[in-house]
Amino acid sequence: MSQNNQTPLPTHEERWKIQPFKRQDNPNGLLEESSFATLFPKYREKYLRQVWPQVTRALKPHGIRCELNLIEGSMSVFTTKRTFDPYIIIRARDVIKLLSRSVPLYQAVKLLRDDVECDIIQTRTFVRNKERFVKRRQRLIGPNGNTLKAIEILTGTYLMVQGNTVSIIGNWKGIKEARKIVIDTFKNVHPVYNIKELMMVRELEKDPMLKSENWERFLPQFRKRRKKRKKNRQEKEEKKKKKYTPFPPEPTPRKEDLMIESGEWFLAEKQQKKIQLQKKKEKSAKNSYMRKLEKQKVFEPPVENFEKESKKKSKKSKKKSKKLSSKDTKKIIGNIKKLEKQNVQKKKSTKKSQNMKDYVAKNKNKNKKKNKNQMK
């Protein structure tokens, strides 16, 4: 073949493109009826009641019948005589699955198109601890859902985080990238690192000169920091104590060997059981006795040492007397002098008052005597 007759190779987008399936490809329809059913949680019952007429309208042109059973809490889809696409029942099954995982209807119905796919990731299997799982799930969502929006814009997909699952809707390329980010976040890799890498890839895709080159030199390479765990004192001491010996350690004795040494091995089964029961009873009796002692400790009065308390009080009083400074002594002396002056002044005032009374009494007596003499 010449170079002119060679057909051009398909592009990356053309390879992923799926050709639409028309009624002309299968005019006779399907031979048998096939159906799928999924359960839904109780909190979705109210929403599904409101939306179910729209679900039936969306599935009707594809020749699929759907039922909502509120008693059992299940949704089911069936093929009919009008269905011509054999794969549409799988898409209808995925639609009801997404509806049960809290995906809104306008996003779930997109799955009926040929160029849209979905993936439901069970995230609870990656983390055992519940608190750690909740933290990592919140890390994926981000503050006000910003991290989730960034992943959606970069991958061109729709993500819904609900409970223990993450639902992804989009094309295969976007789902593959989004799935990697979701799994890495639950494996303790922050989504920011993957988002930065994706942003670099999107910029490199725009440049036609770099299509045939390796992009690893442009992409950021994040190293994992490993901090050395601090060793306990006991571990350090044990390592120090151990000395080097060229001989291997002695083999640990088996249970049978220990029984032969004690002589239990040669006893009958009944006797062995009796000995074991006796040991258990002794152990339980000892434990119960120790518990009783611990309970009785609460009711025991505390020990009172009067001599020690009196000594402490005397020491405190001595310390207080020593602590009296020169200023305090001066103040005390000044107060005593003031009191003495006040007492002296009181005594003087009382003496003066007594003298005045005596003088007035003497003058009265003199006047009386004069009056008597004149009358005579």
Structure tokens at 7: 């057909």
Cα distance between the two ends of the chain: 189
pLDDT 10s digit of each residue in the chain, 376 long? 445 566 777 777 777 777 888 888 888 888 899 999 999 999 999 999 999 999 999 999 999 999 999 999 999 999 999 999 999 999 999 999 999 999 999 999 999 998 899 999 999 999 999 999 999 999 999 999 999 999 999 999 999 999 999 999 999 999 999 999 999 999 999 999 999 999 998 888 888 888 888 888 888 777 766 666 666 666 666 666 677 788 888 888 898 888 888 888 888 788 888 888 998 999 999 899 898 888 888 777 776 665 556 666 666 665 555 554 555 666 666 777 777 777 767 666 665 555 555 655 655 565 555 555 555 5
Strand partners of residue 67? 76
322: tokens are 């020593």
The number of angstroms, rounded, from the C-alpha of 57 to the middle of its chain's C-alpha atoms is 44
The model's pTM is 0.57
Query: Is position 319 within any domain?
Result: no
Asked whether residue 144 falls in the same domain as residue 126, the answer is yes
One domain, residues 134 and 151: yes
- Does the residue 67 lie in any domain? yes
- 102 and 48 share a domain? yes
pLDDT per residue as tens digits for the range 71-130 = 999 999 999 999 999 999 999 999 999 999 999 999 999 999 988 999 999 999 999 999
The β-bridge partners of 268 are: none
Q: What is the CATH number of the domain that holds 40?
A: 3.30.1370.10
From CA 49, how far away is CA 67, in angstroms rounded?
Answer: 11
Residues 134 and 216 in one domain: yes
Count of domains forming the chain: 2
Domain that holds residue 159: 116-223
